[in-house]
Structure 1
């Protein structure tokens, strides 16, 4: 069993290297004022949004796991960042703030060129909590801070400019909506938003026309709050972490019309879980625990029967709250709001499968609130 899983993992990682796919992304750093430049980046980069210093710090990830600062990093932003994402073709970066959405074209070596002459692509009074691009690259969804709406924008492929397609108002919550995160399933058929004590809202999604339709609400247990989610690459399982009285990791199967069905027990995490990541083989799940600065690891051939990985929990920075897997599928990266360190890069152990170990780390800035990677 151990040998076969090792072989499967090697095959999956090799496929990831060829296809160069990933989770999320962010930005480059040398700034030019223009509104028409098209991005041309093809590197493997990680970007950290520093809310306290109003900057984005960027690093190139080497094949050996070294983190090298991108020329011009950290890059100053017009407003404190809250969330960041990159277009699926690695051409544009979108930064969400309390004032709106800013856009940048990614050039060679991670060089940034501001869109719209550096002004916001979208100005809003509701504030942006989370940005997510659709798998086909056509749409940008903004989970807004107002606790009521999700705004959808079409992305102009040649310019990166945004056009409002529709604003959706979600309903039927049993608690107060505290927007946290929004994820679109890899197959593009569904989307889910975590809303704190308001639970989780499920939508079907049509990538051809951008239609987002609410199909249900998953209410959290009493005195609990839905924090973060991750969806496996097969769009078969959704992993949800909650804080409060029902703190922990829960697993759901994904069915027709964005339905969710619990597969069993809630698994123990560290204090205040804030982020979830899945390895490229879908065999291992990691939870960032912001309350105690650790990462919990779980693994199983069957998602309904998770077990704690060897050495878990793993040490990370203080207030660790964002994670992602790089474009090669070889590294897991985590950023921490309280630093020490701000950013840590972990490798996957080939002997004790699923175990992660620190390879490199670096400072990024003040209050590293979000992390994103190129695809």
Structure 2
């Protein structure tokens, strides 16, 4: 289960989100720790160079048979306000959904615990107040449950059939379509996301191979790639065109593609920060491998660049945060979070070193890239014009109260706030908001 931050930032902007509403004030990532005896979530922030920095760990459950153990799914609301975790313990009836409020420093405040039918292997926010959760089950019908969360209550508003064994959900970059991947049934299903967050079934396509943890392209022609797992020779990467008008899908003519090596077992796909590349994570080989993507045909070509996390199964998941690629090491020796920058030819250049999650079996990643802000819009208004005399008064008030915001020039001297900050603010106001 991998997640890309682009849509979160866009929807947060559209909603006029602000840190005051509850979201991390800087780039952050939240990692779910899938421990059998202790479940937890680790918060990270990052240096300007992309090096992960441990912030805090919050325990969701501990001890034998605690419903808060085994954090498996992890999802951040588009506005960055709420973090949800799903749990996959030994229960065969219901499992827990844990809700947190995200603080400006990337720490988490527990809100409440709710239940959903067993097993919630994946969860995706459809709106700032609507979340979809799978019921992945080998003996019962698989479903996608949709819940509305208003900050206090957790209310089911919809449920849709999802096949035989559906463990992965993926939302299109514009938030209009949800795709459910049924590995046992070898199918993909699309659902239109309605304005109220409910789902309307779209189309179903047979895939021929597993499509594990699929990922959409973020720009250009809308396509969907995934991992073929142990099906089709344990080296296949299925790929599909996706029609945003009706949710229909069709296999790319030259797909599935082949990942090199002896049965590497591709397990996930995520669009790289550079749109000319796809990132494929592997189960058996535990490699993160980059593939060049033809912008016209969508065909993938192995770049020859890969990072080996460790022994079989030790790659947790992969996510993209701005220009960085994040990955978890699940159990091989020291475990935690990696960060990479992508080279021009698909190289994976590590930022710093692996940083421990201080939890057991780190797996899922929920990245957060705060929406761009306009410094001169001090009062946070959204009207037209955005910048007004109120922003000057706002800046004066912050300067008078020694608010760090007023340190416009970023100086570190004593005094921290000077006349230069006024000139800096005037310059930014004159430049305007774009």
Confirm or deny that 1:192 pairs with 2:149: no
Measured in 2, the distance between the counterparts of 1:154 and 1:196 equals: 27
Contact persistence 1:190–1:202 (CA under 8 A): no
Measured in 2, the distance between the counterparts of 1:69 and 1:321 equals: 18
Counterpart among 73, 83, 93 of residue 83 in structure 1? 73
Q: What corresponds to 2:111 in structure 1?
A: 115
TM-score calculated relative to the size of structure 1: 0.79
Measured in 2, the distance between the counterparts of 1:64 and 1:217 equals: 43
Q: What corresponds to 1:41 in structure 2?
A: 24
SS in 2 for 1:21: helix
Measured in 2, the distance between the counterparts of 1:169 and 1:20 equals: 26
CA-based RMSD of the aligned residues comes to 2.5
Confirm or deny that 1:56 pairs with 2:51: no
Q: What corresponds to 1:244 in structure 2?
A: 230
Contact persistence 1:241–1:275 (CA under 8 A): yes
Measured in 1, the distance between the counterparts of 2:294 and 2:206 equals: 28
Confirm or deny that 1:362 pairs with 2:364: no
SS in 1 for 2:165: coil
Confirm or deny that 1:276 pairs with 2:269: yes
Higher relative contact order (CA 8 A, sep 6+): 1
Confirm or deny that 1:150 pairs with 2:144: yes
Contact persistence 2:187–2:204 (CA under 8 A): yes
Task: State the structure with more CA Rg.
Answer: 2
Contact persistence 1:215–1:257 (CA under 8 A): yes
Measured in 1, the distance between the counterparts of 2:10 and 2:268 equals: 16
Measured in 1, the distance between the counterparts of 2:50 and 2:131 equals: 30
Measured in 2, the distance between the counterparts of 1:339 and 1:200 equals: 32
SS in 2 for 1:153: strand
Q: What corresponds to 2:119 in structure 1?
A: 127
Give the gaps of 5 or more residues in structure 2.
1-5, 12-19, 62-67, 89-94, 370-434
TM-score calculated relative to the size of structure 2: 0.69
Q: What corresponds to 1:7 in structure 2?
A: none
Give the gaps of 5 or more residues in structure 1.
1-15, 24-36, 172-176
Q: What corresponds to 2:247 in structure 1?
A: 258
1:143 deviation in Å?
1.3
The CA deviation string for residues 210-256 of structure 1, in whole angstroms up to 9 with x for no partner, is 232223333242xx433120001247111122123424112211113
Q: Cα gap change, 1:132/1:45 in structure 2, threshold over 3 Å: closer, same or farther? A: same
SS in 2 for 1:64: coil
Measured in 1, the distance between the counterparts of 2:327 and 2:43 equals: 14
